[in-house]
Amino acid sequence: MAAQELTTTTFDEKTSDGIALVDFWADWCGPCHRFAPIFEEVSSRHEDVVFGKVDVDANQELQARFGIQSIPTLMVIRDGVILYQQPGGVPAQGLESLIEQARALDMDEVRKTVEAAS
């Protein structure tokens, strides 16, 4: 599945169920353009995963909401819970590893941990 543009309006809907990888980027960002083909290539191998792109210039509310200060920033979300958020591009093998780690999690345990930390 090709990466899809996520906006302030669609973000929560697209990331609330299942696994989502989100690339925060901007058109003027050189490293973002170098990471984009890797992100697209891995997306073609995972039909069951949402691959979303957030243009930080067009969606400043999302940039502020998640404290994005450097781009590209990659976020991994499962069932609406942020599991990973790091600035910088990730090689294809790293994306594959993040997807497998997200799949392997017991989300009931993750939610208990998140609740206990709140």
Q: What is the pLDDT of residues 56-71, one digit of tens each?
A: 999 999 999 999 999 9
- Convert the pLDDT of each residue in 32-59 to its tens digit: 999 999 999 999 999 999 999 999 999 9
The CATH code of domain 4-117 reads 3.40.30.10
C-alpha to C-alpha distance for 81 and 77, rounded to whole angstroms: 5
Q: What are phi and psi of 23, to 5 degrees?
A: -105, 110
Say whether 32 is catalytic.
Answer: yes
> Domain limits of the chain?
4-117
Q: Which of 3, 20, 21, 32 is catalytic?
A: 32
C-alpha to C-alpha distance for 85 and 64, rounded to whole angstroms: 14
Q: Which of 26, 29, 82, 105 is catalytic?
A: 29
Say whether 71 is catalytic.
Answer: no
Q: Which has more pLDDT, 118 or 40? A: 40
